[in-house]
Structure formats: C-alpha cells, structure tokens
C-alpha cells in the first residue's frame, strides 16, 4: 500500500514537473475556441437581428429583444436534449459567457431536481445558478439608479461621459 | 450591414468570451462566480459610462455576452430615473430586461419539466 502511494506521489510530482515546461498549451487552445465560438455566436445574433429589422420593419431594440429571447429558447432546448453539455465542453466560455450560458444553467440545474417535485424541486432549482446572477445584477442596477438620481440632484456628470 | 460591422461584433464578443475562458483556466473561480462577476462588471461599467462606447462599437458583441445583461439592467435604471424620478431606480432594471428574464424562466421551466437529464456517461 505504502509503495503504491509513493508511486502515486511520484506520478503527481512528475506531472507537475512536466506541466512547468508545457506552458498552457491546453489553455491556449481553450482560449482560441472560446474566442472563435463566442465571437461567432455574437456575429450570428447580429446578422439575425439585422435580418429581422430589415424584413419586418422593426426597431433595433425590438429586434434585439427577439434575438435574445430566441437565443435563450435555443440554449434551453439544447440543454433539454442533452446537447448543450458537449457544446460547453468544447467551447467553454464561448457558450457560457453569452446569455445562452445563463439560460442553460437554469434548465441544467432544474432538470436534476425533478424528483423533488415540479414546483418545489424544479421551481426552485431553476434559480440555483441564475439566482445569484439576478440578485446581484438587480441589486447593482438599483444602486446605480440611486447614485444616478443623487448625481442628478447636484447636476453632476462624469467628465468623460 | 457590412463585413466590417460583423468583424467588430466578432472581435468584441470573442474577446469578452476569451476573458471568461482565461478566468476559468487561470483562476479558481467557478463558472457561477464568473457569471455574477460579468453581470456586475457590465452594470458598473455602464454606470461609469464606459460600456456604452463598447456597445456602439461592437453591438451584439457587447450585448449578447452577460456584461450586456448588466448593461441593460443599469441603463434601464438610469433611464427610468431620468423619466420617473427616484422610483425609476427600482423599476428600470427589470423593465428593461423583462422579456429576457421572463422568457428564461418560462421556457426554462417548461423544458425542465418536459425533458429528463441524460445519464452521465
């Protein structure tokens, strides 16, 4: 037993030793994949938004909302079908950082807790990851609004805005 | 729509995602924390007037990633304060992002009820 533990230690030490001489080749390829997939996702959203805007005579903001809702639905459907996890394994932050990652996290956690019931299980676990994001985002937006209000009273503007 | 425009969107969106990937690979932050950091950073940068130029330049590249969610929250609150006064600080954020949040909750709930998780192989 003791010998095998030593072997394991030696193996671990060797891996650490090697990793010092292979400067993040995995990280470089991860970074490229995240950059390309993330960029492509945003570009696709942009092209679709322009298409909707031109062909349905909508304003930029409305078309943007439609695209956002579409992205959210698509990401959640892929999650339900079990296709999002392999995608995230490949593209990493490229599909986690866009709004699709947020949408995916809701379904992914909720599905795991179906055994706890459709209301208290799925209903609450939908927010296991999305909860902190929404709570922090909305809280910051309120603080921003308050500060902006006070700045308005004193007629103060940031010099570079 | 020109190719130049699409290239700008690609660059901005790609770089924001790359930053996320670097945070995943080189820090001990979990993806959940990174999502929170991105939304919060987007809102704070918007308040400082630093995110709007990025949106003007990179369009969907700046609004589709999560900092764009923070951007919409903060911009909503600021605009609502301008039109409705103090109460706008409470109403503006959600109003601006209502469609996205509601869609995510509604579709997410339906899909989580319909589909079963895949057994992990």
Minimum CA–CA partner of A45 in chain B: B60
Is A94 in the same domain as A121?
Answer: yes
Tell me: do A48 and A76 sit in the same domain: yes
pLDDT tens profile B35-88: 999 999 999 999 999 999 999 999 999 999 999 999 999 999 999 999 999 999
Identity of the residue in B13, B88, B101 whose CB atom sits nearest the CB atom of A134:
B101
A76, B104: Cβ pair inside 8 Å?
yes
Considering only CB atoms, which chain B residues are within 8 Å of A62? none
Identify whether the C-beta of residue B63 lies closer than 8 Å to the C-beta of residue A71.
no
Tell me the pTM.
0.88
Answer yes or no: do A19 and A92 share one domain: yes
- Residues from chain A that touch B20, judged by Cβ atoms under 8 A, are 34, 38, 92-93, 96-97
Q: CA of B55 to nearest chain A CA: how many angstroms apart?
A: 12
For residues A73 and A150, membership in a common domain is answered with no
Residues A133 and A104 placed together within one structural domain of the fold: no
Residues A30 and A41 occupy one common structural domain: yes
Q: Which residues of B81-100 are buried (b: 16+ CB within 10 A; e: fewer)?
A: beeeeeebbbbbbbbbbebb
Count other Cβ atoms within 10 Å, centred on residue A53: 19
Q: Do A45 and A105 reside in the same domain of the chain?
A: yes
**Which domain covers residue A152, as residue numbers?**
129-161
Mean pLDDT within A89-101:
96
Q: Which of A69, A159, A45, A39 is nearest to B49 (CA)?
A: A159
pLDDT higher than 60, residue A23:
no
Tokens encoding B22: 């670097």
Q: Are residues A40 and A74 in the same domain?
A: yes
Q: Into how many domains does chain A fold?
A: 2
A32, pLDDT greater than 60: yes
Q: Which of B12, B17, B48 sits opposite A97 (nearest CB)?
A: B17
| DSSP letter for each residue of A4-51 | HHHHHHHHHHHHHHHHTTS-SHHHHHHHHHHHHHHHHHHHHHHHHHHH
């Amino acid at each position: 037993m003791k010998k095998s533990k030593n072997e394991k230690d030696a193996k671990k030490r060797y891996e650490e030793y090697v990793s010092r001489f292979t400067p993040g080749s995995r990280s470089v390829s991860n970074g490229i994949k995240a950059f390309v997939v993330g960029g492509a996702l945003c570009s696709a959203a942009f092209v679709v938004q322009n298409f909707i805007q031109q062909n349905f005579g909508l304003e930029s903001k409305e078309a943007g909302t439609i695209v956002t809702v579409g992205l959210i639905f698509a990401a959640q459907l892929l999650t339900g079908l079990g296709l999002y996890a392999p995608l995230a394994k490949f593209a990493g932050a490229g599909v986690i950082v866009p709004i699709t990652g947020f949408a995916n996290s809701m379904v992914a956690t909720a599905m795991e807790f179906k055994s706890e019931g459709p209301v208290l299980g799925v209903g609450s676990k939908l927010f296991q990851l999305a909860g902190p994001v929404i709570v922090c985002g909305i809280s910051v937006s309120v603080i921003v609004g308050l500060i902006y209000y006070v700045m308005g009273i004193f007629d103060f503007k940031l010099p570079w805005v | 729509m020109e190719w130049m425009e699409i290239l700008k969107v690609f660059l901005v969106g790609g770089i924001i995602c790359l930053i996320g990937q670097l945070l995943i690979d080189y820090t001990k932050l979990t993806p959940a924390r990174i999502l929170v950091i991105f939304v919060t950073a987007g809102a704070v940068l918007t308040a400082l007037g630093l995110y709007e130029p990025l949106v003007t330049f990179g369009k969907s590249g700046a609004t589709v990633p999560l900092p764009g969610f923070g951007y919409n929250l903060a911009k909503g609150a600021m605009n609502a304060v301008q039109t409705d006064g103090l109460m706008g600080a409470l109403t503006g954020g959600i109003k601006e992002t209502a469609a996205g949040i509601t869609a995510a909750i509604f579709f997410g709930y339906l899909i989580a009820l319909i589909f079963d998780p895949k057994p992990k192989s």
